[in-house]
Amino acid sequence: MNLKTSMIQSTEKTDFIKWNPSYKTGIPVIDEQHEHLVNLCNDFYKNLLTNKGTDEYKKLVKETLDTCVKYAATHFQEEEKLMIASNFSGYNEHKHSHDVFKEKCQDTCFNIDDISVAEAIKFAKFLYEWIHNHIAHEDKLYIPTLKKFLQERASK
């Protein structure tokens, strides 16, 4: 089953992104933030699928998307600080990936009042795929460097 199939099949009954132990980096502060980010992405998607047509719908969708995007930015700052402090060689590439994602999210947040539910769902799928791929692959690259740095810092 590919990513898209599993995502579509799981949307009605379960969380949009199922937290998977394989996402873990083994760095507690990062893992806690990743899990929280996944939960916020799920909140946004759940609000997108429920309460359609109610007065509160747009407000809830907007608020949950905004919370998710703001938290992602805070989390990226934390990661970037650690990557700089540990001299991670892939910092520039990783930061670029964060920046491109943030820009796309900010544009969507800005235009959320004018986009259709179908477009918002398309964006939610983009969020899911990006977060999934980033946590499962790109974030894994800094683990050895960050772990070594944090261990050395703790032993001083």
User: Which residues contact Fe ion (rule: CB under 5 A)?
Assistant: 79, 139
Nearest distance in Å: CB 139, Fe ion: 5
Minimum CB separation from Fe ion for residue 98, in Å?
A: 6
Q: CB 42: neighbour CB atoms within 10 A?
A: 20
- Rounded-to-integer distance, Cα 129 and Cα 63, Å: 21
Indicate the residue among 43 and 139 with the shorter CB distance to Fe ion. Answer: 139
Shortest gap between Cβ of 77 and Fe ion (angstroms)?
11
Find all residues with CB under 8 Å of 99, minimum gap 6, and list them. Answer: none
Q: Which is nearer to Fe ion, 45 or 130 (CB)?
A: 130
Min dist CB 16 to Fe ion, Å, is: 19
For residue 11, report the phi and psi dihedrals to the nearest 5 degrees: -65, -40
Look at phi and psi of residue 68 and say left if phi exceeds 0, alpha if psi is from -120 to 50, else beta: alpha
Say if residues 143 and 27 touch (Cβ distance below 8 Å): yes
Q: What element of type H or E holds 102?
A: helix 91-111
